[in-house]
Amino acid sequence: MNPQGIAIAAASLILLRCAVQVWLEWLNRAHVRRHARTLPEAFRGVMDEATYSRSVDYTLAKGRLEQLELVWDCLVLLLVLFSGLLPWSFRVLADVLGQSPAAQAAWLFVLGLVLSLPDIPFALYRQFKLEQRFGFNTTTLRTWILDRLKALSLATVLGYPLLWLVLKSVEWAGEHWWLWGWAILLGFQLLVMLLAPVLILPLFNKYTPLPEGSLKNRLLALASRTKFAARAIQVMDGSKRSRHSNAFFTGFGQFRRIVLFDTLVEQLTEPELEAVLAHEIGHFKKKHIPKTLLLSAAGSLAGFYVIAFLAQLPAFNSAFGFPSGIAPALLLFSLLSGTVTFWLSPLAYWWSRKNEYEADAYAASVMGGPADLKGALRKLSEKNLSNLTPHPVYSGFYYSHPTLLEREAALK
């Protein structure tokens, strides 16, 4: 295919994805409206009429914002790809700093920061208008800005060296650089997973040991009878930023830590918190985490192979105004890959929902029945104003977890 054909194909795929995403948002909002007037019978006892009405309003408001953001992102991407700004910046950098791996890594890093700027107004509106309107926002503008400055510092300390190492591998390994680049990325991801609980996560939140008492004894007893090794149970000050709630664990082996949001501890009873932890342990017992890591590693390996292949096609880089080279191909792949992988998202999310069903079933088995887990899921749906009636096609494209109705039906 010639450069013009590649450019036309890329623009067409971007527009097609945008159109489908906007249509999916419209489809979901229309489906929610059809169920908006009366609380569905299946959810009586989950929410009252007033709360259900607020959940509908919340879903519709998020959908409107998402539609605007999708169109905006599409326009920005088309502008960035076809305005000539990217190759111009590449030529300027080459004239000033040369084309060493260090210089090209700096170009990619700075571009990544610049390309994140158009999303800032939407992030601000979402946090301080939409989330504030529905009572979820608890953060301040100062904390919001500090979070982004910390993220920028981490990106500089970790991201730039990673880019440099990947580009340097071209000099070390020649045509097989993509294997080395993949190995470098994989090692970096494992290192971050090890360091995150100790060095990274505490930069953003405060973690305190769960106080002595019946809840801690209950959760430790669960960990003991399920043979789930954990070094500590901690409470995270999630309420510092939002009233949404969650639970997770970090680390490996004896260094594994169970983390509960303080909002979760406030919202659920002790048996319900135990059921939530049993669900998380279910992911561990069913080996969902190593399977996910293996799939991610396979995906990144395929990605590096594609980048190496595209970099060898003169027509690909030239379609967007670039000379041949790894760094431009790496940038273009990062900008265009989402247009392709979007069509695979139903398969990825189907697999994720399958894992959730398995973790639910495990939790029900170790809890002696599904009652406590169902109680937790219902309360979380109510407190988070979850969409109880998403369109099935929409949830197939976007939901990593089954809907409440689907989870309860599976637990029966």
Question: 3-class SS at 1?
Answer: coil
Q: Are residues 40 and 135 in the same domain?
A: yes
Nearest-angstrom CA–CA distance, 58 and 56 = 5
Locate tokens 């135990």: which residue?
274
Mark residue 21 as left, alpha or beta (left: phi above 0; alpha: psi -120 to 50; beta: remaining): alpha
State the residue range of the domain holding 187. 3-202+290-337
Please give the pLDDT value at position 306.
94
- Residue 96 counted as domain residue: yes
The pLDDT > 90 percentage for the chain reads 71
pLDDT in tens, 246-302: 888 777 666 677 888 999 899 999 999 999 999 999 998 999 988 999 999 999 999
What average pLDDT does this structure show over 55-76? Answer: 96
H runs (alpha helix) in 155-287: 160-173, 177-195, 214-225, 262-267, 270-285
- Residue 174 counted as domain residue: yes
* Banded pLDDT at 76 (limits 50, 70, 90): very high
Q: What is the mean pLDDT of the chain?
A: 91
Please give the pLDDT value at position 163.
94
Nearest-angstrom CA–CA distance, 115 and 133 = 28
Judged against a pLDDT cut of 80, whether residue 45 lies above it is answered with no
Please give the pLDDT value at position 109.
94
The sign of the dihedral angle between the CA atoms of 138, 193, 177, 306 is negative
Q: Are residues 183 and 209 in the same domain?
A: no
What average pLDDT does this structure show over 382-405? Answer: 93
pLDDT in tens, 162-176: 999 999 998 888 889
| Strand-pair category, 207-209 with 232-236 | antiparallel
* Banded pLDDT at 375 (limits 50, 70, 90): very high
Q: Are residues 234 and 324 in the same domain?
A: no
Q: What angle (nearest 5°) sits at the alpha carbon of residue 382, between those of residues 377 and 386?
A: 85
Q: Are residues 118 and 245 in the same domain?
A: no
Judged against a pLDDT cut of 80, whether residue 231 lies above it is answered with no
Please give the pLDDT value at position 291.
93
Q: Which residues pair with residue 235 across a beta bridge?
A: 208, 260
CATH of the domain at 263: 3.30.2010.10
Please give the pLDDT value at position 228.
84
Locate tokens 């009652």: which residue?
371
Q: Are residues 96 and 167 in the same domain?
A: yes
Q: Are residues 227 and 255 in the same domain?
A: yes
Q: Are residues 166 and 30 in the same domain?
A: yes
Give the end of a domain, one of 337, 372, 396.
Answer: 337
Q: Are residues 29 and 93 in the same domain?
A: yes
Q: Are residues 197 and 303 in the same domain?
A: yes
Q: Are residues 312 and 170 in the same domain?
A: yes
Nearest-angstrom CA–CA distance, 276 and 282 = 10
Please give the pLDDT value at position 28.
96
Q: Which helix (H) or strand (E) holds 249?
A: strand 247-250
- Residue 181 counted as domain residue: yes
Please give the pLDDT value at position 313.
87
- Residue 350 counted as domain residue: no
- Residue 211 counted as domain residue: yes
- Residue 176 counted as domain residue: yes
Q: Are residues 237 and 111 in the same domain?
A: no
More confident residue, 123 or 172: 123
Please give the pLDDT value at position 58.
96
Please give the pLDDT value at position 252.
67
- Residue 404 counted as domain residue: no
pLDDT in tens, 295-341: 999 999 999 999 999 998 889 999 999 988 899 999 999 999 999 99
**Which residues are catalytically annotated?**
280, 360
Number of structural domains (the chain) is 2
Locate tokens 């169109």: which residue?
71
- Residue 281 counted as domain residue: no
pTM of the predicted protein model: 0.90
pLDDT in tens, 183-223: 999 999 888 888 888 888 889 999 998 888 999 899 989 98
Judged against a pLDDT cut of 90, whether residue 74 lies above it is answered with yes
Q: Are residues 95 and 210 in the same domain?
A: no
Judged against a pLDDT cut of 90, whether residue 19 lies above it is answered with yes
The sign of the dihedral angle between the CA atoms of 105, 106, 107, 112 is positive
Q: Which residues contact 387 (CB under 8 A, 6 or more apart)?
A: 28, 32, 55, 59, 403
Give the end of a domain, one of 316, 337, 358.
Answer: 337
